[in-house]
Amino acid sequence: MTQEFPTQAALVIPTPADIHTLAAWADAHLESRWQGILTEYRAKLDTAYAKAGDMAYGTYQQLLFRPIKQALREAGFGTQPALPGDFGRSREWGNADETHQERWMWSVVTGPDGTPLGTLVHIVPHDHSQFRIPQRPSIFGLTQTDLPDIEAALSELSPHFAAAQPFDEWYAEYLAGQEKPPKVNKN
């Protein structure tokens, strides 16, 4: 039997909608859905993890965020980048055996009139040894809207965030450190 979730129509944006009210609204939605999505889509997510590894967490986030994104769009709000955020700018850290990692991603939210309201920060707990969400995903709000200010605020909140590199920078260093294949002598 498929578990029933609130429909997109049931997601009513709170008014007045400042960034903290929106974050609390979105976080309550994540709290109500995160385990149900795992249960309903377990086979699909396990298959995706077996085929593509951590990309399965992107699939999970899309399923989790679909109603939030639709409700915001229908109410005239915008997000940049699209929720749950830009993977390349995100930062990750966790335990040594990589069974409990955290990735922080964010999106700047604009109101129906185009005015920036603040930033929704999404915390994605995950496991690198198997497809597993070790604790509930969450969202909180920041009033900052410019990248340097967002990163400074998040660095103040978390020494782990401050110490972690944005994914794009980490990956570029990783690739640069890989050995280049030996040249083949054609003689």
Could you read off the pLDDT of 82-134 as tens digits, one per residue? 999 999 899 999 999 889 999 999 999 999 999 999 999 999 999 999 999 99
Could you read off the pLDDT of 12-51 as tens digits, one per residue? 887 778 999 999 999 999 999 999 999 999 999 999 999 9
Q: Is the CB of residue 63 less than 8 Å from the CB of residue 37?
A: yes
- Lookup result for tokens 């590894």: 53
Give the pTM: 0.86
**Sign of dihedral through CA atoms 166, 68, 63, 29?**
positive
- Identify each DSSP E strand in the chain by its residue range: 78-80, 91-94, 101-110, 116-126, 138-142
Q: Is the CB of residue 100 less than 8 Å from the CB of residue 127?
A: yes
